[in-house]
Every structure is written in structure tokens, then in C-alpha cells.
Amino acid sequence: MVQIFAYAVFTVFFLGDIYIDLQEQLPLSHVWHEVVMFAFSLAALSWQVWMITKKNRHIRAIHTELLEAKKSYLEWKERSKASAGAIREMIDEQLGQWQLSQSEKDVALFLIKGLSMKEIAEIRQTQEKTVRTQATTIYRKSGLSGRQELAAFFLEDILSLPD
């Protein structure tokens, strides 16, 4: 904005000076130089205004895209809530069928989410050894061999390709 103001001041100054010089009937060679300077300052002013207008349009376009992306994300999040709730109920039901304790169910959910044993221990405020023991019990009760099979058990059908 400072540049636009400066170019506008120069443009007005040169225009005023040309007017005064013409009123005083100074030689055209003198006025000609000021006309050239006026043209340059007017061109610079026009270019600056054009660039700022172009950048403002670009910013508005990006802002619009951002708002659309945010709206799309919020819509997706809202639509997925119902599905996520249903999936969570199905997972809870399956964990219950495996006769897991509440602590084992919690650890199983963290394992499915991909948390490390250390992270689970920190969240549950317990020892990592305890989490490992619970994980082993989960795998034994479920008949699965490990974390990958546990996650695949619940995600395989959800993420499978359509027929």
C-alpha cells in the first residue's frame, strides 16, 4: 500500500507540474521529460494496483477453497460419526464375545488404533509389562496371533474392495 501511495503522489506531482509548466509556457523539451516521468509513474501505479488486485483475487479464491474444504471435512466428520458409533458397538460386542475384561478391552482398542505398548502404558498409567501381559491375554482369548491380526479382524471387511 505504501508503494501505491508513493506512485500516486508522484503521478499527481508530475501531472500538476506539467499543468503548471504548460500555464507558464515553458519549452516543450522541458515538459516532454515530465510527461515521460508522468507516464512511467502512472504505469507503475497501474501495475501495482493490478498486482494487488490479482493477489487479492487469489487470496479470496484460496479462502473460498479453504472454507469449502472445511465444510466438506465437517460434513464427512458428521456422516462418519454414525458409522463410527455403529462400528464401535460392533467392536465392543466382539470384545465381549471374547470375554475380555474392561482393562483388556481398553488395551485392545488402543492396539487396534496402533498405539505402542509404551504409549498405552502411559495413557493407562500402568507398567508396560502389564500392557504386554494384557495384550498376550487378548490374543489368546481371541485366537489371533498378534496386533496385525487383531486390527485386520476388525478392518478387513470395512476396507475390502467392492466386488
**76 plus 140 within the same structural domain:** no
Let me know if residue 35 belongs to a domain: yes
**8 plus 65 within the same structural domain:** yes
- Smallest CA-to-CA distance from 100 within 135, 152, 145, 148 is with 135
Residues of the chain with pLDDT > 70, as a percent, come to 97
C-alpha distances (whole Å) from 115 to each of 85, 120, 124, 155 are 20, 6, 12, 16
C-alpha distances (whole Å) from 12 to each of 8, 22, 47, 56, 94 are 6, 15, 16, 25, 80
* H/E stretch holding 158: none
Domain end (from 55, 84, 113): 84
Q: Is residue 161 very low, low, confident or very high in pLDDT (cuts 50, 70, 90)?
A: low
**78 plus 120 within the same structural domain:** no
**19 plus 68 within the same structural domain:** yes
Which range of residues forms the domain containing residue 111?
Answer: 98-163
Question: How far is the C-alpha of 38 from the C-alpha of 18, rounded, in Å?
Answer: 9
Question: How far is the C-alpha of 159 from the C-alpha of 145, rounded, in Å?
Answer: 20
Q: Is residue 61 very low, low, confident or very high in pLDDT (cuts 50, 70, 90)?
A: very high
Question: Mean pLDDT throughout 124-150?
Answer: 95
Q: Is residue 117 very low, low, confident or very high in pLDDT (cuts 50, 70, 90)?
A: very high
Let me know if residue 66 belongs to a domain: yes
**18 plus 76 within the same structural domain:** yes
Let me know if residue 92 belongs to a domain: no
Domain end (from 34, 58, 84): 84
Q: Is residue 11 very low, low, confident or very high in pLDDT (cuts 50, 70, 90)?
A: confident
- Smallest CA-to-CA distance from 109 within 62, 150, 68 is with 150
Domain end (from 84, 113, 130): 84
Total domain count, the chain:
2
**72 plus 131 within the same structural domain:** no
Question: Mean pLDDT throughout 129-145?
Answer: 96
Does 163 score more than 70 pLDDT?
no
Does 162 score more than 70 pLDDT?
no
